[in-house]
């Protein structure tokens, strides 16, 4: 009998891994991992809400081997063991699903896919509509007129047309497709070197896997050889990729119905997991727990070496320290401890001029002390700053007591202004949050606390107000400010422990945090304090020259336009361009107006003089307003230097960013932009030395892709751009022109940034067809690069993130975005992020190594700038050769790649000469 109700089959194992890897790690107060539990149950609850009339069953993989391991010993043989923190969450998920009244199926000897396939086939045979909720592409082979796939995390729905659109083939060929490509994760061999595009091309040409095998002799090149060598493995791969439709089950389709919830058990389980929102939902229905829950018991299934502790105190105790006796008592407490957390509250626009108004310290969870020293309101209630700092200095500098904080680089600056050398650094919750997931939250302390501690931090605005009546921090009453400051120090203390536990569960991330990010704090702080000399006179002269150029450009624009107008007004530009001069309208704004955005002007500039002049005017005007006019105002009056801040927790890829001022975006493609660097000069009697990685991201691509052509080119020290040009333009190496090499360089770097033929056509000013030819020739020369790109995009689509060589996880929240433009941007980022992120990790390691060497070596040199792949030093002239050799060696040795890291070094009186 056919049921009118829709049947939903949930691939619980897919949910489990997606939730664990795509969401930040969470633990409850007893250290029990809960993130995957919350993620899986959240998705199931969303399904129930979206399909209230459906029958829902959840299927998980059983423990142990399956029949596929009997067919092929190597099946899943190289998979790493399941992380303890994931394994410990499986049983709680099962318990919650049962308590929700949902059928739970776990069948030994087969995989969840096979159980789902069998049930879907049974439902199809009686004409019942079935929805399979999964993130696993393999299940697309089950789609038919009655079976549809849905990915709950992305809301992507695949019916037969959807499968055809996504894969380029129908469901009937998905197994052939999977067999050809193989699966590294499951160790299904496939045909070596065959990725999605090759598999699709062959299937469309020959109709099926068997058709491909029959025509194998017609397929040329190395890929044809690999196919012919792999026919037995290909048929084996087909068998392994095929989902069984005949599993013996103890349950029939009509029995898969949603039963009654055991709400009392759900309350107990949610209480154990500390899912407060869901507990509240139940209690609002009058549901309470059984009273049998042992909240003091540790996680019954956890198998972990990490001793996890609660970070949620039973109560809080915050105290304001205003007498010498209280201060002395506090210091005595901390002298007997091994660690504490602290936060210096301060005011000031720049770290060199920051003024502390108080220091909050927390040792025990839920307990914190605030010592006011710089309040202007109620100043009589605070101790003298000098007395407080004299007493605290030995504690803050004590090498035996480790310190945790938020944004320790800035905290160290503020304390160093007071002649306090904070050490040693144990934990920086800003960096810990960033390393765990750089895009999960804004990394403000309040956001991190809200996300990981499930607390509602005090609102600073309620203390200082806003608008014209906004108070300075110093003007807030001490009694009001004390609780706020104590809470922040307490949250730092709790977060330091919480995030440390999460980090320990992710070994590779813990290594990045401990050996890259934490040691870099000291290095960057010193670079910032060193600063770099700026000759303001040079920029003043350049500003005057730019003013003259801008006046000439403006006059030329007015002459062509036939009237004067405001060049910065889009509305007036629209009128001149499209109404008066009747230029072609290439694109419209959201409001339907002809666009004057930069990409549109660049395209118009290829054929028309006016847009070219407008673009040149915009470029020079930005250079003048952002750099030649503004940089002299950033010079510190006391040091005569610019002291930029280098941010570790901003760029998702791990790259450092420069602010106040930003020295990393000074344009160098134009002569005017490069001249700005002439104003950055060496100290008297010194030289600037600039060391720059050569083609580092291309070298990383060679290492990651293992493309034989790229590996050979870099290992034999070929000019890779010239070699690419020779192949792309069908010429010999000796006959490659400078223009062809420039084009090849654009191709090399453009493609690793995920640039399409359309983007390349615009950059090279050639037709789209010609650009596509270049792309095809490039991938013919470097097929491993194409395979790597396809595999990386597939991995990003599956997991929601990619990784650097060193294990930094780069999350891509838009990889499944409904908007095609946003999704494609995320796909391009997936290709480039491992290169850019790995390059960032490499130069961080180099900076740490060089800083350690300079600290021990008598060379008179200071690191003064970091700009992407470049380091700049201010060095005594007589030490240039020693510094050059030492820096070059350490930068080249910062990572062990399969190709050499090459470092170019330049020396000069200013940055332009050195670069």
Task: Please write the tens of the pLDDT for every residue from 717-731.
Answer: 888 999 889 888 888
Strands 861-867 and 870-876, bridge-based pairing: antiparallel
What does each C-alpha distance from 48 to 6, 61, 97, 143, 423 come to in angstroms? 12, 22, 12, 22, 53
Closest CA to 653 of 759, 419, 810, 494: 810
* Mean pLDDT in residue range 314-337: 90
Rounded distance, CA 51 to CA 349, Å?
54
pLDDT surpasses 90 at 295: no
Query: Helix, strand, or coil here: 363?
Result: coil
What span, in angstroms and rounded, lies between the C-alpha atoms of 275 and 289?
Answer: 13
Give whole-number Cα distances, 873 to 284, 528, 842, 845, 893, in Å: 64, 12, 18, 17, 19
874 in Cβ contact with 692 (< 8 Å): no
Question: In which residue are the tokens 């003091």 written?
Answer: 296
Ranking 243-247, 297-301, 642-646 by mean pLDDT, the lowest is 297-301
In contact, 35 and 26? CB cutoff 8 Å: yes
Q: How do beta strands 861-867 and 809-811 pair?
A: unpaired
Statement: residue 876 has pLDDT above 60: yes
Tokens 């995030």 correspond to what residue?
499
Contact 141, 175 (CB under 8 A): yes
Nearest by Cα to 848 from 447, 523, 364? 523
523: CB partners within 8 A, 6+ apart: 847, 848, 851, 863
Tell me 82's DSSP state. P
**Nearest Cα residue to 160 out of 140, 179, 184, 178:** 140
**7-255 CATH, one of 3.30.460.80, 3.40.47.10, 3.90.1150.10, 3.40.50.1010:** 3.40.50.1010
The C-alpha angle with vertex 381 and arms to 375 and 382, in degrees rounded to 5, equals 60
Residue 8 has a pLDDT of: 95
Distance, in Å, from the CA atom of 697 to the CA atom of 694, rounded to the nearest integer, reads 9
Q: Burial-class residue 821 by CB neighbours within 10 Å (0-12, 13-18, 19+).
A: exposed
Which residues on neighbouring strands pair with residue 647, listed in sequence order?
657
Among 669, 643, 662, 623, residue whose Cα is nearest residue 867: 662
The answer to whether the CB of 65 falls within 8 A of the CB of 73 is no
The pLDDT value recorded for residue 383 is 94
Q: How many Cβ atoms are within 10 Å of 618's Cβ, its own excluded? A: 15
What average pLDDT does the segment 687-709 reach? Answer: 94
Q: State percent of the chain over pLDDT 70.
A: 96
Q: Is the Cβ–Cβ distance between 578 and 601 less than 8 Å?
A: no
Residue 300: alpha-carbon gap to chain centroid? 34
Q: Please name the helix (run of DSSP H) or strand (run of DSSP E) that holds residue 358, with its range, or none.
A: strand 355-362
Domain 533-642 CATH superfamily: Taq DNA Polymerase; Chain T, domain 4 (1.20.1060.10)
Q: How far is CA 571 from CA 411, 574, 594, 607, in A?
A: 47, 5, 9, 22
What CATH number does domain 317-505 carry, 3.40.50.720, 3.30.70.890, 3.40.50.300, 3.30.420.10? 3.30.420.10
Number of Cβ within 10 Å of residue 565's Cβ equals 15
- Assess contact for 661 and 642: CB atoms under 8 A: yes
Do 847 and 523 touch, CB atoms closer than 8 A?
yes
State the average pLDDT over residues 274-296: 73
- Do 7-255 and 533-642 have matching folds? no
DSSP bridge pairs for 142: none
pLDDT at position 31 is 64
Start-end of H helices in 51-109: 67-71, 84-99
Q: pLDDT of 362-410, one tens digit each? A: 999 999 999 999 999 888 889 999 999 999 999 999 999 999 999 999 9
Identify which of 620, 649, 677, 734 has the alpha carbon closest to the alpha carbon of residue 906: 677
Rounded CA-CA distance 153/676 in Å is 48
Radius of gyration of the chain (CA): 31
* Alpha helix ranges (H) inside 562-681: 570-574, 598-605, 609-623, 671-676
Picking from 452, 454, 457, the residue whose alpha carbon sits closest to that of residue 502 is 452
pLDDT band at 590 (very low <50, low <70, confident <90, very high): confident
Amino acid 310: pLDDT = 58
For the chain, what is the mean pLDDT?
Answer: 89
Q: Pull the structure tokens for residue 77.
A: 């043989």
Closest by alpha carbon to 519, among 846, 153, 225?
Answer: 846
Distance CA 823, CA 814 (A): 6
Cβ atoms of 359 and 345 within 8 Å: the answer is: yes
Task: Quote the tokens at residue 361.
Answer: 């310290």
Asked if residue 327 lies in contact with residue 388, where contact means CB atoms within 8 angstroms, the answer is yes
Q: What's the pLDDT at 867?
A: 94
What is the arithmetic mean of pLDDT over 489-494?
96
CA distances from 316 to 362, 454, 504 (A): 11, 15, 27
Query: How far is the CA of 111 from the CAs of 85, 96, 423, 553, in angstroms?
Result: 22, 21, 53, 70
pTM (2 d.p.):
0.69
Element (H, E) at 886: helix 880-892
Residues 44-64 have pLDDT tens digits of 998 898 898 999 999 999 988
- Whether 127 and 255 have beta carbons less than 8 Å apart is answered as no
Q: Where are the domains of the chain?
A: 7-255, 317-505, 533-642, 708-781
Contacts of 312 (CB under 8 A, 6+ apart): 29, 365, 453, 494
The pLDDT-based confidence of 748 (bands split at 50, 70, 90) is confident
Mean pLDDT computed over 736-753: 87
Report the C-alpha gap between 470 and 463 in whole angstroms.
9
Q: Which region among 19-23, 328-332, 371-375 has the lowest average model confidence (pLDDT)?
A: 19-23
In angstroms, the CA 786 to CA 773 distance is 15
Query: What ranges in 729-876 are assigned the alpha helix state H?
Result: 738-752, 757-764, 768-781, 783-799, 820-856
pLDDT of residue 874 exceeding 60 = yes
Per the CB < 8 A criterion, the answer to whether 264 and 98 are in contact is no
Q: What share of the chain is helix, strand, coil (3-state, %, to 5)?
A: 55, 15, 35
Residues 6+ apart with CB under 8 A from 508: 806, 807
* Greatest distance between any 2 Cα atoms in the chain: 93
| Mean pLDDT (whole number) for 454-464 | 84
Distance CA(471)–CA(481), nearest Å, equals 12
Give the confidence band of 628 by pLDDT, cuts at 50, 70, 90: very high
Q: Which are the contacts of 549, defined by CB distance < 8 A and separation ≥ 6?
A: 620, 672
Cα dist from 237 to 71, 171, 188, 784, 787, whole Å: 10, 17, 6, 22, 19
End-to-end CA distance of the chain: 78
Predicted pLDDT at 296 = 41
Q: What is the 8-class DSSP label of residue 517?
A: I
Q: Kindly state the helix (H) or strand (E) to which residue 487 belongs, with its residue range.
A: helix 478-505
Task: Please give the Cα distance from 480 to 318 (Å, whole number).
Answer: 12
Contact 274, 455 (CB under 8 A): no
The span from the CA of 359 to the CA of 416, in Å, is: 14
């Amino acid at each position: 009998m056919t049921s009118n109700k829709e049947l939903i089959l949930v691939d619980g194992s897919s949910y489990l891994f997606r939730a664990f890897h795509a969401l930040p790690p969470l633990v409850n107060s007893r250290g029990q991992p809960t993130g995957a539990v919350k993620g899986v149950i959240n998705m199931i609850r969303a399904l129930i809400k979206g399909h209230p009339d459906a029958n829902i069953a959840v299927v998980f993989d059983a423990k142990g081997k399956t029949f596929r391991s009997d067919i092929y010993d190597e099946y899943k043989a190289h998979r790493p063991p399941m992380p303890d923190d994931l394994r410990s969450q499986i049983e709680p998920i099962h318990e919650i699903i049962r308590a929700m009244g949902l059928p739970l199926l776990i069948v030994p000897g087969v995989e969840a896919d096979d159980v789902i396939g069998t049930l879907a086939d049974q439902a199809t045979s009686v004409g019942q509509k079935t929805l399979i909720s999964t993130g696993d592409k393999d299940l697309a082979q089950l789609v038919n007129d009655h079976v549809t796939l849905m990915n709950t995390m992305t809301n992507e729905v695949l019916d037969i047309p959807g499968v055809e659109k996504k894969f380029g083939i129908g469901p009937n060929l998905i197994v052939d497709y999977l067999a050809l490509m193989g699966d590294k994760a499951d160790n299904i061999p496939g045909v070596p070197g065959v990725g999605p595009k090759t598999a699709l091309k062959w299937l469309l040409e020959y109709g099926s896997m068997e058709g491909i095998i029959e025509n194998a002799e017609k397929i040329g090149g190395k890929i044809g050889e690999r196919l012919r060598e792999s026919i037995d493995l290909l048929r084996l791969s087909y068998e392994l990729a095929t989902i069984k439709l005949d599993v013996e089950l103890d349950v029939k389709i009509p029995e898969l119905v949603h039963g009654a919830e055991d709400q009392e058990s759900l309350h107990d389980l949610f209480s154990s997991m500390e899912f407060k929102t869901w507990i509240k939902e139940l209690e609002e229905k009058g549901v309470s727990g059984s009273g049998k829950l042992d909240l003091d018991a540790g996680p019954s299934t956890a198998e972990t070496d990490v001793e996890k502790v609660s970070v949620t105190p039973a109560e809080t105790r915050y105290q304001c320290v205003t007498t010498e006796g209280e201060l002395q008592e506090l210091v005595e407490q901390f002298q007997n401890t091994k660690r504490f957390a602290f936060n210096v509250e301060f005011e000031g626009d720049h770290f060199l001029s920051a003024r502390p108004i108080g220091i909050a310290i927390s040792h025990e969870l839920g307990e914190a002390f605030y010592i006011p020293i710089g309040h202007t309101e109620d100043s009589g209630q605070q101790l003298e700053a000098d007395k407080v700092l004299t007493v605290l200095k030995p504690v803050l500098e004590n090498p035996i007591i480790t310190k945790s904080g938020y944004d320790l680089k800035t905290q160290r600056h503020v304390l160093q202004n007071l002649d306090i050398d904070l050490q040693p650094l144990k934990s920086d919750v800003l960096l810990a949050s960033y390393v765990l997931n750089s895009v999960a939250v804004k990394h403000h302390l309040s956001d991190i606390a809200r996300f990981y501690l499930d607390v509602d931090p005090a609102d600073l605005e309620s203390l200082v107000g806003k608008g014209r009546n906004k108070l300075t921090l110093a003007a807030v009453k001490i009694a009001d400010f004390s609780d706020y400051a104590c809470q922040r120090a307490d949250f730092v203390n709790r977060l330091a422990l919480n995030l440390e536990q999460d980090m320990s569960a992710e070994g590779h991330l813990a290594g990045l945090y401990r050996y890259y990010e934490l040691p870099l704090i000291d290095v960057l702080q010193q670079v910032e304090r060193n600063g770099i000399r700026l000759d303001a006179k040079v920029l003043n002269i350049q500003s005057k020259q730019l003013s003259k150029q801008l006046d000439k450009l403006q006059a030329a624009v007015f002459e062509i336009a036939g009237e004067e107008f405001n060049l910065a007004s889009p509305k007036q530009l629209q009128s001149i361009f499209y109404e008066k001069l009747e230029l072609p309208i290439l694109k419209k704004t959201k409001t339907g107006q002809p666009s004057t955005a930069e990409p549109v002007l660049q395209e118009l500039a290829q054929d028309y003089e006016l847009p070219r002049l407008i673009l040149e005017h915009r470029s020079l005007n930005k250079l003048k307003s952002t750099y030649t006019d503004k940089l002299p105002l950033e010079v510190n009056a006391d040091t005569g230097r610019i002291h930029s801040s280098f941010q570790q927790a901003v760029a998702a890829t791990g790259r450092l960013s420069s602010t106040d001022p930003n020295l990393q975006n000074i344009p160098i493609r134009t002569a005017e932009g490069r001249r700005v660097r002439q104003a950055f000069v060496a100290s008297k009697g010194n030289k600037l030395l600039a060391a720059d990685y050569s083609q580092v991201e291309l070298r990383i691509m060679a290492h990651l892709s293992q493309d034989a052509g790229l590996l050979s080119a870099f290992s034999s020290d070929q000019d890779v751009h010239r070699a690419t040009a020779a192949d792309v333009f069908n010429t010999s190496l000796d006959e490659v022109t400078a223009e062809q090499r420039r084009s090849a360089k654009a191709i090399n770097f453009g493609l690793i940034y995920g640039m399409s033929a359309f983007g390349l056509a615009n950059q090279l000013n050639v037709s789209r067809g010609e650009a596509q030819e270049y792309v095809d020739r490039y991938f013919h020369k470097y097929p491993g690069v194409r395979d790597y790109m396809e595999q990386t995009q597939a991995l990003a689509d599956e997991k929601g993130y990619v990784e650097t060589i060193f294990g930094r996880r780069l999350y891509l929240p838009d990889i499944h975005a409904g908007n095609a433009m946003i999704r494609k941007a995320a796909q391009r980022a997936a290709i480039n992020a491992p290169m850019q992120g790995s390059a960032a990790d490499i130069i961080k390691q180099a900076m740490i190594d060089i800083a350690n060497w300079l600290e021990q070596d008598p060379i008179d040199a200071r690191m003064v700038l970091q700009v992407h792949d470049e380091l700049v030093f201010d060095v005594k002239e007589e030490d240039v050769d020693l510094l050059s050799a030492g820096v070059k060696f350490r930068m080249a040795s910062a990572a062990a790649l399969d190709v050499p890291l090459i470092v170019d070094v330049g020396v000069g009186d200013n940055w332009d000469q050195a670069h």
